A and B are shown apart, each in its own frame.
Chain A
Amino acid sequence: MKSLKKWGLFLIVFLFTSLAFSETYVAENDLQRVIDAAKDGDIIILNNSFNEKVEVIGKELKFISMGESGEISFIDDKNTENIFNEKPVIYLESATVTLENIKISASNVVGIGILNSSVYLKNVTIELNNGIGLVSVSNEKGESYVKLEMVKILDKKYRKVSGKNASLTFSSVGILGSYNTTIIANNIDISGMKKAFVLENKESYIFNSNFSENEISLMILSGNQNIINNKFKLNVQAIVAANNSSVSLINNYFDENNQDLELLSKDCSSCPKTKKFTGVLKGYSNVSKSLLIKNNFSNHFWDNE
């Protein structure tokens, strides 16, 4: 009992001292140097715009911008042959990072690259030009966790258009989740993307979000994907699902998409790893404004509005 008390006291003291020693840095220039100097639990306030690539490896840090100034950007002028060959604007490896009130711009590169890490984006805007907003992967033993709240991803060239007969060019991808990644996305807004989400990861919960004028909003290739209370408007294709994925669609609203939902009905011979949909589709209370054939869906999958 005495030794337990001792350990408890030790833990409290340890916790208190580590909290007391967490520091706040104000970064004005050379962000990577500030990151290198920071230790677990530290807060880095961005007080400038940074045109550099940065990486956080094996640390727990929080980046925050107080005003409009906090921007991390990288514009790669040369036309990259393979975007994955370049380091992302922000690279996280075995790290736990929060980004709050920050703008990230990525041109011809990936905005945020994650390997075996945990990231929380709150009130973040990612502006892309021929780039990918966020790519999360893990190795066999590792795991990645992505939490998004009030996140906006848009293409720099994107201009909102009205009407169905608009011609759009898509050049960027919003979020690519794969391997052992869990994604929680609440209240996000993605427009003008080739693909808003490519989901090839273990599990996702995407809710209260808007997807408009994308080529494909959600491309589901595997995993357990839960799509709840979202709005899909004016997309070429709102959702396409393939392979053995498990898809739950609850209370989503589809309006003026060329196609609301496609479950791949035959194997794609020229596409590796892409077979027809043999997974599970569950759902109820979804609303579609288009005249699609609703016979193949279970009762209450579509709400009769």
Chain B
Amino acid sequence: MKKVYFLLLIILVGILGVSANFNVYSSLLNDSVGIFRECDESITEPVTYAICVEWEDSERYLNQNCFGVCALFCDAIGNFWGKLACKSGCLGICWKPERRLCIKYDTVTIYPCKGN
């Protein structure tokens, strides 16, 4: 009788083992793994862009070389129109805006969504 129970136990353990193995095996085959990458439905081939990863900001300023040449001699201009135009125009002409310049680039690849 003990022998029969022992045999049954071995058969049960064997079945459970195979079934567990089969589960692992089947999940490896069928489970989809999520890869988070950017895709674009409008493209069919991967596209690589340059993107800026480091910026250098510069403040607005008045270009003093430009302004010096322009404004300091306004009174010396002979014609009345030129004198008036010079007095009001130099500031606008020589003003430099605030700007951002990219100093370091990296690349990013966008894939087509289909088959992603």
Binding site for B on A (CB under 8 A): 81-87, 91, 93, 110, 113-115, 132, 135, 137-139, 165, 173, 176, 178-179, 194-195, 198, 200, 215-216, 219, 221, 236-237, 240, 258-259, 262, 268, 270-274
- Taking A173-B92, A216-B95, A219-B95 as contacts, is the C-beta distance between A271 and B62 under 8 angstroms? yes
Q: For window 53-98 of chain B, which residues contact chain A by CB distance below 8 Å? A: 60-62, 64, 67, 69-71, 73-74, 77-86, 88-89, 91-93, 95-98
* Cβ-defined contact, A137 with B84, below 8 A: yes
Instruction: Compute how far the CA of A86 lies from the CA of B70 in the bound complex, rounded to whole angstroms.
Output: 13
Chain B, residue nearest A222 (CB): B88
- B contact residues vs A (CB 8 Å cutoff): 50, 52, 60-62, 64, 67, 69-71, 73-74, 77-86, 88-89, 91-93, 95-100, 102
Q: Would you call B85 and A113 a contact (CB within 8 A)? A: yes
A274 and chain B: residue at smallest CB distance = B91
- Give B105 Cβ to nearest chain A Cβ, in Å: 8
Chain A residue at minimum C-beta to C-beta distance from B69: A81
In the complex, which of the residues B62, B92, B95, B102 has the most CB atoms of chain A within 10 Å of its own CB atom? B92
Q: Are A259 and B85 in contact (CB under 8 A)?
A: no
Q: Sorted from nearest, which 6 A-B pairs have the closest CB atoms?
A: A198-B92, A178-B88, A84-B86, A137-B84, A237-B97, A84-B82
> How many angstroms between the C-alpha atoms of A270 and B65 in the bound complex?
12
A28 to chain B, nearest CB (A): 29
Among B52, B70, B80, B91, the residue within 8 A (CB) of A115 is B80
A241 → chain B closest CB, angstroms: 12
A110 to B97, CA, bound (A): 23
In the assembly, what is the distance between CA of A113 and CA of B83, in Å? 12
Known: A84-B82, A85-B78, A270-B64. 6 other contacts (CB 8 A): A84-B83, A113-B82, A137-B88, A195-B93, A198-B92, A200-B92
Residues in B whose Cβ lies below 8 Å from that of A237: 97-99
Chain A residues near B91 (CB, 8 Å)? 221, 271-274
**Chain A residues near B64 (CB-CB < 8 A):** 270
Q: How far is the CA of A251 from the CA of B44 in the complex (A)?
A: 37
CA of A139 to CA of B98, assembled, Å: 33
| Assembly CA distance A132 to B64 (angstroms) | 19
Nearest CB in chain B to that of A113: its residue: B81
Contacts of A268 in B (CB 8 A): 60, 62
In the complex, what distance in Å separates the CA atom of A236 from the CA atom of B99?
7
Question: What's the Cα separation between A135 and B69 when bound, in Å?
Answer: 19
- In the complex, 12 of the A-B residue pairs with CB atoms within 8 angstroms, ordered by the A residue number, are A135-B89, A137-B84, A139-B84, A165-B50, A173-B89, A173-B93, A198-B89, A215-B97, A219-B92, A258-B99, A259-B98, A274-B62
Q: Which of B93, B98, B100 contacts A194 (CB 8 A)?
A: B93
- Chain A neighbourhood of B50, CB < 8 A: 165
Task: State in angstroms the CA–CA spacing of A115 and B69 once bound together.
Answer: 23
- A137 in contact with B98 given A115-B80, A194-B93 (CB within 8 Å): no
User: Which residues on the A side are within 8 Å of B96 (C-beta)?
Assistant: 215
Given known contacts A215-B97, A258-B100, A221 and B62 CB-to-CB distance under 8 angstroms = no
| Bound-complex Cα distance A87 to B83 (A) | 11
Q: Which residues of A contact B69 (CB under 8 A)?
A: 81-82
